[in-house]
Structures are given as structure tokens and as C-alpha cells.
Amino acid sequence: MHKEKHTLIGPFKQILPMTELPNKGALKDEQLSIIEDGGILLQGDTILEVDNYKALLAKHPDCEVETLSGDLVALPGFIDAHTHICFAGTRSFDYAARNNGKTYIEISKEGGGIWSTVKHTRASSKEELVALMLPRMQKQIANGITTTEVKSGYGLNVENELKMLQAIKQADQKHVLDLVPTCLAAHIIPKENGITEQEYLQLILEEIEPRIAEEKLCKRFDIFIEDGAFSAESSIDYLNQLKAKGYELTVHGDQFNAGGSKVAIAVGAKSVDHLEASGAEEINALANSEVIPVALPGATIGLGCDFTPARKLLDKGCSLAIASDWNPGSAPQGNLLSQAAILGTFQKLSTAEILSGITYRAARALSLVDRGKLGIKFKADIVAFPCHDYKEILYHQGELKAAHVWKNGAKVI
């Protein structure tokens, strides 16, 4: 049997493996383990060893060597744990109108809002949605992101929700970026036919979920709990029925009004995302649960609202993932590193807390145990930045671009 050859990548000025940090709570930069003049030994798509480059070369003299030049700092490939990059159309009208003083209701009445994206997405074929997703996926890879969660939620009926999830599945097969699909059919209540909240949730359970199971389109469900979307009471029953079928749960919660985080805790959701409206009661409850808070600074930047209280969440002992929420309405920028750096500035997060939030803590929010760290048996998903010190990466707030990206051990940038 042919034995797969080992490959040594390096040298790197610094490597941040992120392997010995806790899953929950505040972090100081002094806790970061830094390997100076390091190398990463691979076998295929898996990491075998991370150590001093010269030591690895002496230990494995017969390995293939992928020699790098210049100062480089290596990290685990970033993980964007909350996006909506399967969509058609633009919401530039919304952005300009919002900044021009118009309310959400006024924008919706003039043809904007989420329903605008629904109409454009419904009018697009599955092939068109795939074609629209691929350049967004390439932008993610170029920004050092090697795994991205993608939600449906702009279909809002059986045919189009399934079309979105099928498009996500096809895009995943066409591009090196790993996609984690999530059904967000419960995004808002569709406008047509006077359907009620309960009727629509029942439709998802009876007509959309069985097709998802049959076609193996996703293992995760999400719901938007908010005024104008879904109530806490209806959400609990809906999520518990999905949990009984074996699905992992996540919740859009506490964005404008508190309440969603309590539901996430009650149903044992993996994460609750947004939390801009979370107060002391919600933060304390999350700290006493296993639900992972996910901050979405892109929505704050897009809407001009408060940031997720990341500092308070961490200081109370919560985990914290940071995701871009890339979507056409509230978070069109789609640059995770820039958003995470800005969140850190306003919330006074350490570099260790920010980098953890877009690597291994983000992986945990997606139940991915094989990535987010540069350690033995982890996926060889690596990003390298052209600098001599890891502190340069966030200092430039997203303007320092990745020099190289490896996905499954293969250099793709």
C-alpha cells in the first residue's frame, strides 16, 4: 500500500496554533502559544506536527518541502459561523434610505427590506444562485476564511427554500471553501396568502423538513426570534420538534429586543447569534449555559446600532464566536477580519479573544471538531499573513491581506 508522503511547510516567522486555550471565558494575549521560526508538517490534508522548522526538517529529512520566503505569520484558517451569502439582488436602496433618515417600515413600503431580497432570490434559478455565490466564496478564501456557514431564508416557501439549500450544496461541490448549510426558512413570515405564524412553521415541519432529510441538504435549523418575525412561544415548540428529529439548532436572538437568547437556552441550541440587545439578565443566563454567543459586528456596522456586549459576555465566562453575518441588507460588507478588529476596538477585546472567536471558538459554534486549531490530526486549513508579528494582523483592521491560504493541505492562495 502506498504511503502518503509528508510535506513540510515553512519557515514561518511565527505560528499561532491556538491549541491550548480554553473554550470559554476571557483571554489575555499572554496566553497565546507562539512558535517562532516554525514549520507545519502535513500528511495529505491533515496536520501531523507543528514545531520549529529546522527541528522538523532534521526529524523528517525525507519529507517534501514547501519552502516559503519572507516574514509570514500562520494561523488556523478562519471560520465564518454565520452568513447569508446565497441571495440575489442588492439592497443599496435600503442602505442609502436608512442613512437618509427613513425607517425600516418606510423602506419596506417603498419596495425595500428583506422582501426585496426574497423577490430577487425567488426569481433566480438554482444555477444563477450558484453563480452568484462562487465569487463571494472566493472572497472568503482570499480573506483567509476556509469554512463558512450559509443560511437559506430568502425563499420562504417550499420550492424556493429547497432551491436555496440545493444551490448551497452545489456551490459547496464546486469550490474549495467548505460550506455548512443551515435552514432558515423561519426567517420572517411570508407575505402571501395571509398565512399565520403557526401555519407557516407547520408548513416547514411538514413539507420542507422531510425534503431536507431526503436530500440530505442540511443538519442545522435556525429561526429569527424578534418583533415582526417569530415569537418566543411559537419558536420553542418548533425548535423542540426539530431537535427531536436530530437537527442541531441555532437562533437569531436579542438583536433588537431581548427574548431569543432565553429560547436558545431552553431548547439547548448550539449558538445564539446577534445579542446586541442582551442585558445583564441574558448575559448571566448565557454564562450558566452551554449555548455559544456569536457576535455579528457586520450588522452593527451596517445598521448603526449597538455592538454585541462581547466584553461582558467573556468576563462572565461565556465563549464568544465572531461572524460576519454577510447579507445583502444589514451586513453587506462581508469582511470578517475587518469587522472582528472593529468589534475589538469598541469592546476592548484582546487579540487572543478576537482570533479565538474566528478560529476554534467559531468551529465549536458549528460543532466542527476537526478545524480551528493547528494541531495534530486537525485539518490542514492554514492562513499566513505577510508580517513578522501576529499583532500586525488586527492592527491593520482587515487591510493586511492574506499572503497564502491552504485548504485541506493544498495552497489555494
For residue 40, what is the enclosing H or E element? strand 35-43
Q: Are 301 and 334 in contact (CB under 8 A)?
A: no
Task: Tell me whether residue 263 is in a domain.
Answer: yes
Note whether 360 and 16 are within 8 A (CB). no
Do residue 64 and residue 191 come from a single domain?
Answer: no
The answer to the question of residue 220 being in a domain is yes
Based on the fold, state whether residues 269 and 218 are members of the same structural domain. Answer: yes
What pLDDT shows up at residue 293?
99
- Domain hosting 52: range is 6-77+372-411
Task: Tell me, yes or no, whether 87 and 169 share the same domain.
Answer: yes
57 and 84 share a domain? no
Please indicate, yes or no, if residue 1 is contained in any of the structural domains.
no
Q: Which three-class secondary structure state does DSSP give residue 172?
A: helix
Does residue 319 sit in the same domain as residue 202? yes
Looking at the fold, whether 43 and 112 belong to one and the same domain comes out as no
CA distance linking residue 305 with residue 10, whole number of Å: 43
pLDDT at residue 66, as a whole number = 98
Angle between helices 260-267 and 232-244 (to 10 degrees): 30
Helix (H, G, I), strand (E, B) or coil at 244: helix
- Check residue 104 and give its pLDDT: 78
Task: Determine how β-strand 145-151 pairs with β-strand 178-186.
Answer: parallel
List, in sequence order, every residue forming a beta bridge with 221; answer none if it has no partner: 183, 249
Q: Decide if 149 is inside a domain.
A: yes
Which parts of the chain register pLDDT below 70? 1-3
Residue-level pLDDT at 324: 98
Note the pLDDT tens digit of each residue in 26-56: 999 999 999 999 999 999 999 999 999 999 9
Question: What's the domain count of the chain?
Answer: 2
Question: What was the pLDDT predicted at 1?
Answer: 44
Number of H helices, E strands in the chain: 17, 16
| Whether residue 117 sits in one domain with residue 212 | yes
Nearest-angstrom CA–CA distance, 168 and 182: 9
> Are both 301 and 156 inside the same structural domain?
yes
Do 91 and 70 share a domain, yes or no? Answer: no
My answer on whether 89 and 40 are in the same domain is no
Q: In this structure, are 327 and 187 located in the same domain?
A: yes
Which CATH number fits the domain that encloses residue 337? 3.20.20.140
* Residue 49, beta-bridge partner list: 41
Say if residue 268 is in the same domain as residue 316. Answer: yes
pTM above threshold 0.95:
yes
* CATH code for the domain of 392: 2.30.40.10
